[in-house]
Amino acid sequence: MPKLSHLDDKGAVHMVDVGAKPLTSRTAIAEGFLEAQAETLDLVFSGDLPKGDVITTAKLAGIMAAKKTSDLIPLCHPLPVTSVKVAIDRINNTRVRLEATVKVAGQTGVEMEALTAVSVAALTFYDMAKAVDKAMQIDGIRLLMKEGGKSGLYQADT
């Protein structure tokens, strides 16, 4: 098993020093799912939910979350994110797929930013629609792809 980079020689937690690493272009894509009643999704996707535009608000929340990841995850580096895109698509009567793509030219990857964007977008969706459907479920949040940096390309099994 490789040595964990967030532990020093004595086993204490520390932030990894990436200062000597070269700037490279990096991208990460994450996905997640939200399950809800068909009637709830009908209201959301028709724009008839009384609380407002769920889709736009959830996308915006995901974008904002990606930029704030280092404030939420203790050992994440603050990154000069160059692009965040959040997509929200209804894939059947009761299921929504959320996807976040995050890019940076930096010294460390943006996997956590993509995962945070999807998570917060899903939570915002839930928050805005919970008045009509408290039984919604969020699941399947995972990294789909990352590229750039020393470890190169990773693609999840589909």
Q: Each residue of 101-119: pLDDT tens digit?
A: 999 998 788 999 999 999 9
Give the tokens for residue 53.
């535009």
CATH architecture of the domain with residue range 24-150: 2-Layer Sandwich (3.30)
What are the residue ranges spanned by the domains of the chain? 24-150
pTM score, whole prediction: 0.89
Locus of tokens 């009567």: 93
42 near 142, Cβ under 8 Å?
no
Q: Each residue of 27-78: pLDDT tens digit?
A: 999 999 999 999 999 999 999 998 899 999 999 999 999 999 999 988 888 8
Report how far apart the first and last C-alpha atoms of the chain are (Å, whole number): 26
Would you name the residues annotated as active-site residues?
127
98 near 86, Cβ under 8 Å?
yes
Locus of tokens 């799912």: 33
62 near 86, Cβ under 8 Å?
yes
